[in-house]
Amino acid sequence: MKRHHLLFVMTVLVIVVLDQISKVYIDTHMTLHDSIPVVQGFFNITYVRNPGAAFGFLADSTPLVRAFFLIGVSIFASGLIVYYVMKMKTEDILLTYGMSLIMGGAVGNLIDRVRLGEVIDFLDVYISTYHWPAFNVADSAVSIGAVILFYKLIRGQV
């Protein structure tokens, strides 16, 4: 196995495990909509569930449409990422790391969608009454991976 393939697999596994452990902890130790202030006026741990995608996309759709679309997109995107990483001609560690973060996050949220029909979110960032939509470890990994991928794209290294 090539070094960047091992990095890819290990990073995906770490993200999925951290994501699922944090979600199980929140689900078993908090009641839905409970909130614990961490940094007053900026950050809470708030247990919510999101039946849709980012920013509530498709949250009002029927469960069948949501499941078909969101699970299908996750599986398709994951397949593309694996294909791309396996076909990479260079061992670009930063690009591999970015792709593995996206894949790990996608798999973490996919597990929730298959298991629960929705995603557990709990990281609540806000200033005064302006809240960023709650998110989780998987969402964070996807976001960081996307920033890395965007950086590589604008540098012409993808």
Distance, in Å, from the CA atom of 120 to the CA atom of 133, rounded to the nearest integer, reads: 12
Distance, in Å, from the CA atom of 121 to the CA atom of 138, rounded to the nearest integer, reads: 9
Of 19, 112, 121, 124, which one is the catalytic site residue?
A: 121
pLDDT (tens digit per residue) in 51-101: 866 666 666 777 777 777 888 888 999 999 999 999 887 788 999 999 999
Indicate the number of domains in the chain.
1
The answer to whether 109 and 139 have CB atoms below 8 angstroms apart is yes
Mean of all residue pLDDT scores within the chain: 91
| The pLDDT of residue 59 | 67
Beta strands in the chain (DSSP E): 35-39, 43-50, 119-127, 130-131
The answer to whether 121 is a known catalytic residue is: yes
> Who has greater pLDDT, 88 or 137?
137
The whole model's pTM is what? Answer: 0.89
- Which structural domain range is residue 46 located in? 3-154
Helix, strand, coil percentages (3-state) for the chain, rounded to 5, are 60, 15, 25
The one-character DSSP state at 52 is S
Contacts of 151 (CB under 8 A, 6+ apart): none
Instruction: Provide the angle, in degrees to the nearest 10, between the axes of the packed helices 93-116 and 137-154.
Output: 150
The answer to whether 124 is a known catalytic residue is: no
Phi, psi of 95 (to 5 degrees): -65, -45
The answer to whether 51 and 118 have CB atoms below 8 angstroms apart is yes
